Structure 1
Amino acid sequence: MDLFDTGAAEPSRNRPLADRLRPKSLAEVIGQGQVLGPEAPLGAMLASDSLSSLVFWGPPGVGKTTIARLLADESDLHFVQISAIFTGVPELKKVFEAARIRRQNGQGTLLFVDEIHRFNKAQQDGFLPHMEDGTILLVGATTENPSFELNAALLSRAQVLVLERLNLVELEHLTQRAEQELGRTLPLTGSARDALQEMADGDGRALLNLVEQVAAWSCDAPLDSEALGKRLMRRATKYDKSGDEHYNLISALHKSVRGSDPDAALYWFARMLTGGEDPRYLARRITRMAVEDIGLADPQAQSVCLHAWETYERLGSPEGELALAQAVTYLALAPKSNAGYAGFKAAMRLAKQTGSTPPPKHILNAPTGLMKDQGYGAGYAYDHDAEDGFSGQNYFPDDVKRPVLYAPVERGFERELKKRLDYFARLRTQRQG
């Protein structure tokens, strides 16, 4: 037997339910139709006998290992499985050498690398020559974003396929398959059955572990969801405060606020809190939302966020989190404008384009005689002395055509600001004309 090959199967009675229910063909895989369907990437590859190296990206318990094993079976390739956590360079060399010998004897090797993102960039480079000369067909599995965790050379030689968490319909299908294997129906009411599947959080392997526990119980009557909750601990929510889930959820929160949906905003806010996110991080991001997406349409929004942040610092968790939740609700319902944000970005672009162009001389101070002789301050009109307190002078560099950087919207307080802008624009035209 080759190094790292799987050994003989245990007797069925000793094997976990998840292993006993492992599909024996791709047709038996539950879910993942987006990659396994006839016109999906894997279906098309198998139909045309053109299987190439792959990277499966998805959460735990959605079939990454199973699909890789079945691909080897259907492609008549020898299956070898390793984990990047437990495999070093010496072990990799043995795997590549065994694959080379196997190839000389007329059989290819599908090398499945679990947690492939755990290999550093140099170790990832070590796969490249063996992929290129056909010694191995690499199938990597990762729960992390390959764009950040895998090097460009490896990604250019492997197609990334996204595997998705199982939905409730698919989990119910898996539950029924488990009941057939066990030969009995779970002692649960309909609502408890739904609750059991929700506890799995899209993870098929976790669901089967829960099913195995429930099936072992002796119950006089079906358990309801409350009784189930007392017997089973809810599975911890998948949330990595430094990984993809962190950025995905803050993006969802931000876009829900921008989309004026307080219910969705509160939901994503709560998801991050229950995942263990630092409320101070949320306070900072919420304040950023007030500046970026509401701005001067509601000048009070920023103050609401700062006061909520201060309240959290004084009260701590969990009491202070309510203040942050109220700020989230306020932002979602506030009038929206990114005019200030867009104006600032436009000003930054213009500043970079115009370089060191000096201000017009008439708005420069002239503290010395030489500067006066150079025309500094000449012709400056003191606005407070002008009619309406507005001179209409030009304040941009002489060589810069006056742009429009701030364009307020017809929402919230910016309606009033737009009236003021239009008023000053008319006066400027009159004074300069």
Structure 2
Amino acid sequence: MTETMNPYAKRREALLRRIPDGAIALFFAGQAPHMSGDHAYSPFHVNRNFFYLTGITQEHSRLLLAKLGGSEQAILFTEHVSEVEEKWTGKRLPDHLAREISGIAEVQDLAQFETTLGRMLRTGEYEWLYLDLEQDRYHQTETEAHRFARAFRDKYPGIGIRNPYAEVCRMRTVKDEAEIECIRRAIDITREGVIAMMQHARPGMREYELEAHFDFALRSRGVREHAFPPIVAGGERACVLHYVDNDQVIEDGQLVLCDLGAQYGCYSADITRTFPISGRFTARQREIYNIVLAAMEATIEAIRPGVTTGELNDVTRSVLAQELKRIGLIQDDSEVARYYYHGVSHRLGLDTHDVGSPKWPLEAGDVITVEPGLYIAEEGIGIRIEDDVLVTEDGAVNLSLSIPKDPDEIERIMRG
């Protein structure tokens, strides 16, 4: 290839090795969906596979990769608009900067896409079109790639359509140094937000008031987009895993569970901390908290290449069951499901719940969460502690170790 070998070029080259000769692969940045009237949802959230292969975040962009007769080609299409349009909606990414970021020498106006593709296909030498047809569920809203596939079949019925999504997923699971650094930066910013929440927590405040301190910490550090909608859940509401209303009063004596994360360079942090709104754990809260903490430590200790996240969950369940029996909350291991009802880990990266099957053994370079919890609704106690962990050749490195989770340290921070 004639491209400068930057990280995105290396990924494209690796993908091209996985597809046959006589194939074209297309990836779409996407566009912000319509909200209402003349408004689209903002900020625009670029398709993660497109970004992974280009480093470009501008909507209405497309990547074309071609492989024919031993030659490989990459073309980046970006939106070019008139000076009048720029006065209304701002300047678009200039071609020279698109080349610099992506490492792709050939950058064309998106308006030329159909002409360029048609010219490439007219000789009849290409047999396959690879389209990134990501689909999480049966009734998922169709993507730009899905719409393009339908139109392409009508125009070129002799060219087969294949989906490279699984291949890109395999590539994305193992992170390079630049990706790990982005995740570290996201975690560092998240840390500042979590500490701000601990320092400003007061009985009687509403959950969204506490959340606002996290939001301010992110915004003041240049972060426009959370990794996911924050969960700020006081008391029994913490037993709802994906509680997002964040609008109730946190009463004196309650714990508050905060599951949140910043995004940096399109990479996510995913952190959960649980702390007492009054600044001090009760004896019972501390007892349950320390059980969850012990499960986390045992699970992190078990991380190594070759292990699956399901096997890590077995470690978590074993520790929780043993400790819950010790304190008399359950009598049999099977009863742990009453108080712990989710998996302990998922992959983390460009998506918070990142690509990859839980059946795939972990590899060095994987980044995963470790998030044990106990949810005792009848006592108004919901506790989850979550860290982000890098899998290494000989074990694991906790990337979020600096975010306080020791109960004594949490109380010191909250005392001021």
TM bin (shorter chain): under 0.3
* Larger strand share, 1 or 2: 2
Q: Which has the higher contact order (CA 8 A, sep 6+)?
A: 2
With structure 2 as the length reference, what TM-score do the two structures score? 0.21
With structure 1 as the length reference, what TM-score do the two structures score? 0.21
